[in-house]
């Protein structure tokens, strides 16, 4: 065959859904042990150096309040859930409920009759793991009464990470199946695990968005992860997304218009993570 030839080949999608920001922590004195949380608008972290807020325009953390917080974040701080509302930050630790007014920048403390290991605060209800018996309770913050919630026999609270979205509390334990708890019908539902992997998979960043749970980074027996998985609550299937450009664990995550801001936590070597991985879900071909 002679002459010019035209050969058709498959098209290649060269769009990278991830980007790295190097200077997101340059204006704050950050270290790894902290508590972090976000709602649909704002993202905060805190430690004994104060309260910090993420500036979405500049892609930078900024000092919001330089006064130290009234509790320690040194032990398992990154695993604790911080409830964020328009007016307050709330967290339950031990026998205390701590509330931070975002306008006055004043902390208040309330005694509670449960020893909280971790928990989610929704209006006047606290859904908490009790440190004394490792059981799950619904605790009324108005009248200080609690109700034991029976969990599946194959679900054990151990170094778990949790998050909240659409009236559901999602749990990823150290080992075994992940679950979510529906606060309306008061039932647990199993989700399995990505790749059907039921071994050690801890310090994962969990985030709910648009009827899907995202499972980001973490630690496995093979080391630090950069994978992102998506669990569709409607089809009940796991899907692997384009992996991050960084490996690490104990990340915190904020979502704005389908864009994930993934930062804080620890890097692949176990040091404080200085990078922000920005992930545009809308550009991910997977």
pLDDT attached to residue 62: 97
Cα–Cα distance between 167 and 185 in angstroms, integer? 10
Cα–Cα distance between 230 and 203 in angstroms, integer? 16
Tell me if 274 sits within 8 A of 61, measured CB to CB. Answer: no
254-282: average pLDDT:
95
pLDDT attached to residue 79: 80
DSSP 84-116: E-SSEEEEEEEEEEEEEETTT--EEEEEEEEEE
Mean pLDDT of the chain: 91
State the residue for tokens 């608008």: 41
Instruction: Tell me the per-residue pLDDT of 245-262, one tens digit each, with 9 for 90 and over.
Output: 999 999 999 999 999 999
The region of weakest confidence among 147-161, 166-180, 183-197 is 147-161
Integer Rg of the chain from CA? 20
State the residue for tokens 């490996």: 247
Burial classification of residue 113, based on how many CB atoms lie within 10 Å of its CB (0-12 exposed, 13-18 middle, 19 or more buried): exposed
Q: Kindly report the number of other CB atoms within 10 A of residue 33's CB atom.
A: 15
Cα–Cα distance between 36 and 163 in angstroms, integer? 12
pLDDT attached to residue 76: 58
In order of 40, 42, 108, 258, the CA distances from 159 in angstroms are: 26, 27, 28, 29
Instruction: Tell me the per-residue pLDDT of 40-86, one tens digit each, with 9 for 90 and over.
Output: 999 999 998 999 999 999 999 999 999 999 998 765 567 889 999 99
Six-digit token pair at 19? 């980007």
Phi, psi at 78, each rounded to 5°: -70, -15
Share of the chain above pLDDT 90, in %: 80
Select from 132, 174, 129, 135 the least CA-distant residue to 152: 135
Tell me if 37 sits within 8 A of 81, measured CB to CB. Answer: yes
């Amino acid at each position: 065959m002679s002459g010019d030839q035209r050969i058709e080949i498959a098209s290649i999608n060269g769009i990278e859904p991830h980007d790295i920001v190097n200077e997101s922590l340059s204006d704050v004195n950050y270290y790894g042990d902290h508590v972090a949380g976000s709602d649909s608008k704002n993202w905060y972290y805190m430690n004994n150096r104060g309260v910090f807020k993420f500036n979405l325009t500049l892609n930078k953390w900024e000092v919001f309040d330089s006064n130290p917080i009234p509790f320690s974040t040194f032990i398992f701080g990154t695993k604790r859930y911080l409830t964020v509302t328009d007016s307050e930050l709330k967290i339950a630790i031990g026998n205390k409920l701590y509330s931070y007014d975002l306008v006055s920048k004043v902390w208040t403390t309330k005694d509670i009759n449960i020893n909280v290991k971790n928990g989610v605060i929704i209006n006047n209800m606290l859904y908490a793991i009790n440190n004394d018996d490792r059981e799950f309770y619904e605790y009324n913050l108005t009248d200080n009464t609690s109700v034991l919630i029976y969990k599946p026999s194959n679900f054990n609270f151990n170094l778990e990470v949790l998050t909240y979205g659409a009236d559901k509390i999602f749990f990823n334990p150290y080992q075994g199946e992940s679950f979510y708890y529906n606060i309306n019908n008061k039932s647990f539902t199993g989700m399995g695990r990505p790749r059907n992997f039921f071994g050690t998979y801890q310090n994962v960043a969990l985030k709910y968005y648009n009827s899907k749970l995202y499972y980001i980074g973490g630690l496995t027996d093979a080391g630090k992860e950069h994978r992102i998985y998506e669990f569709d609550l409607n089809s009940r299937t796991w899907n692997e997304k384009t992996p991050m450009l960084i490996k690490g664990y104990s990340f915190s995550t904020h979502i704005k218009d389908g864009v994930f801001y993934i930062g804080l936590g620890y890097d692949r070597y176990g040091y404080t993570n200085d990078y922000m991985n920005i992930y545009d879900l809308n550009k991910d071909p997977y």
